[in-house]
Amino acid sequence: MNNYPHPLIAREGWPFLAIAVAVAVLASYFCAAWSIPLWIIALFVLQFFRDPPRPVPQDENAVLSPADGRIVKVERTRDEYLQRDAIKVSVFMNVFNVHSNRSPVDGTVQQLWYNPGKFVNADLDKASTENERNAVWLKTADGQDVTSVQVAGLIARRILCYVKAGDVLARGQRYGFIRFGSRVDVYLPLTATVKVAIGDKVSATTTILAVLAES
């Protein structure tokens, strides 16, 4: 279980940042002018792997955004994992967004599904069904089901997920990471009330995507 205190820089990025800084320092030693592009790359790596702490809304029925980014889809569709009709809310992350993934609800992990696939642009609808992806099925204390799906993108080549069936997650708890541009799809019960619209910019944990109906 990956539940460590937020270090501001995600540990997934430490090797990349170390290499980028080492190469830039080495280049600076030999020629400062040549090192400028390398320092720009190091700064990009630093901003990509930032992992700031986030305040958690107190509404127990709130479904929180699992990622930073932009809403690209809000629709009624089929949840292929639980074989149910559901509301899908999709968050697209570009390379300038924080890429840590957080749990959208308080819940227990019921099952996980990993599907290998393509790496088309995660902004496209077909990314949800054709790209490499990892789905986590969460069940809340009152028995409501939420499916959170990490989807690889055009540049993303690594989906990291640190939970297993039986783990209990708290809203906003970090459970995974996707490297270099991607998407997260959240499938909700049809009774949920969506609070975002296509085009909205959202922040992981702090933005409420929807509110679950009281059971």
Q: What is the DSSP letter of 12?
A: G
Count Cα neighbours of 89 within 13 Å in the Cβ-side half-sphere: 31
Query: Among this protein's residues, is 28 annotated catalytic?
Result: no
By the 10 Å C-beta count (0-12 exposed, 13-18 middle, 19+ buried), 160 is classed as middle
| Residues in contact with 178: Cβ distance below 8 Å, sequence separation at least 6, in sequence order | 93, 99, 101, 150, 151, 152, 153, 156, 158, 159, 160, 184
Do 140 and 213 form a contact (C-beta atoms < 8 A)? no
Catalytic pick from 90, 103, 182, 215? 182
**Residue among 208, 213, 211 at smallest CA distance from 91:** 208
Question: If you count them, how many residues does the chain have?
Answer: 215
3-state class of 112 per DSSP?
Answer: strand
**Phi and psi of 40, rounded to 5°?**
-65, -40
Written as six digits, the tokens of 152 are 């690889």
Identity (one letter) of the amino acid at 194?
A: V
Residue 5: Cβ within 10 Å count: 6
| Residues with a known catalytic role | 182
